[in-house]
Amino acid sequence: MSEILRPVVRPRRLRTSAAIRDLVAETTLRPRQLVLPAFVREGATEPTPISTMPGVVQHSRDSLRRAATEAAEAGVRGIMLFGVPVTKDPLGTGATDPEGILNLAIADVVAEVGDALVVMGDLCLDEFTDHGHCGVLDEQGRVDNDATLQRYADMAVVQAEAGVHLVGPSGMMDGQVAVVRDALDEAGHLDVGILAYSAKYASAFYGPFREAVDSALTGDRRTYQQDGRNARESVREVLLDIDEGADIVMVKPALAYLDVLRRIADVAGEAGVPVAAYNISGEYAMVEAAAANGWIDREAAILETLTSIHRAGADVILTYWATEAAGLLD
């Protein structure tokens, strides 16, 4: 009988127990790295379930305050607010109305939780326009980049006056970070930061979000959101946003773009700028649907998903599971 060959190096030694696996774990996800995206509906008296995102709702102002408190108590450190207005128009004027639903919600949450959560406002017009695009349209029905920038500047100042801590320009207009930074500074809001949606791709995974904000979108957003076949341009976009004054840069979506996230983390790390990633509605819905059918272990899949995003380089993760995941991590 031939002699049994025994390996000299045995990596499995560091996997033999939960304690040793924890001891040598390279990636540790914490509740403080999570941000809860939340929708608030104008005129709502109670939460409205979103059918394509089980467990997620369009909040009333009261239920939003409760959700914010629950998130803070769970150890989540941020909340990103999206408004769902009753009336929409071509210019998205509800976005710059101090009494508009998003600005009221910002003030509500700040009053409720203070600095326990970083209160963020989505800075985009798509929820407020009757055509569903992220900007103002020209006579040919195309998004007018420069006319949109002025709307973003006005929107940023109104959100700052409502008490927002970070604005999140998400429309992928050229020059949006510089214009927003100038507007905030000129209005005296020097401490309001910018979470820039720097690498935002035109993606099939946004589908459930359309229901969440009652989107009126006609056509698509491929002329301003990035092409999913490209990665190099993300680096260019991030570097531009950093030069224009972004405090945090973000990749959206997360899961289909983990390679992009890794590139951005390397580039932003050299500049000393934190990196966020948005675990979006379609990514959430896939896990929930599979779990509902008994095909996967739901809680394990949630944690594995979020850990993969952190491992790829995200310092901050926006996820609809934020509050629940914080409890699982704790």
Catalytic residue list = 200, 252
Give φ, ψ of 270 to 5 degrees. -65, -30
121-138 exposure pattern, b = at least 16 Cβ within 10 A, e = fewer:
bbbbbbbbbebbbbbbbe
Beta carbons within 8 Å of 22's beta carbon, 6+ residues apart: none
Q: Read off the tokens for 199.
A: 């690498």
Residue 246 contacts residue 294 (beta carbons within 8 Å):
no
Of residues 86, 155, 160, 162, the one with CA closest to residue 125: 155
Instruction: Read off the tokens for 292.
Output: 């509902």
Nearest to 169 by CA among 192, 186, 144, 138: 192
- The torsion angles phi and psi of 223, rounded to 5 degrees, stand at -80, -10
Residue 10's Cβ-count burial label (10 Å; 0-12, 13-18, 19+) is exposed
E-state strands within the chain = 34-41, 48-49, 57-59, 78-84, 118-123, 166-169, 193-200, 248-252, 275-279, 316-319
The Cα angle at residue 25 between residues 23 and 26, in degrees rounded to 5: 135
Inter-residue contact 184 to 121 (CB < 8 Å)? no
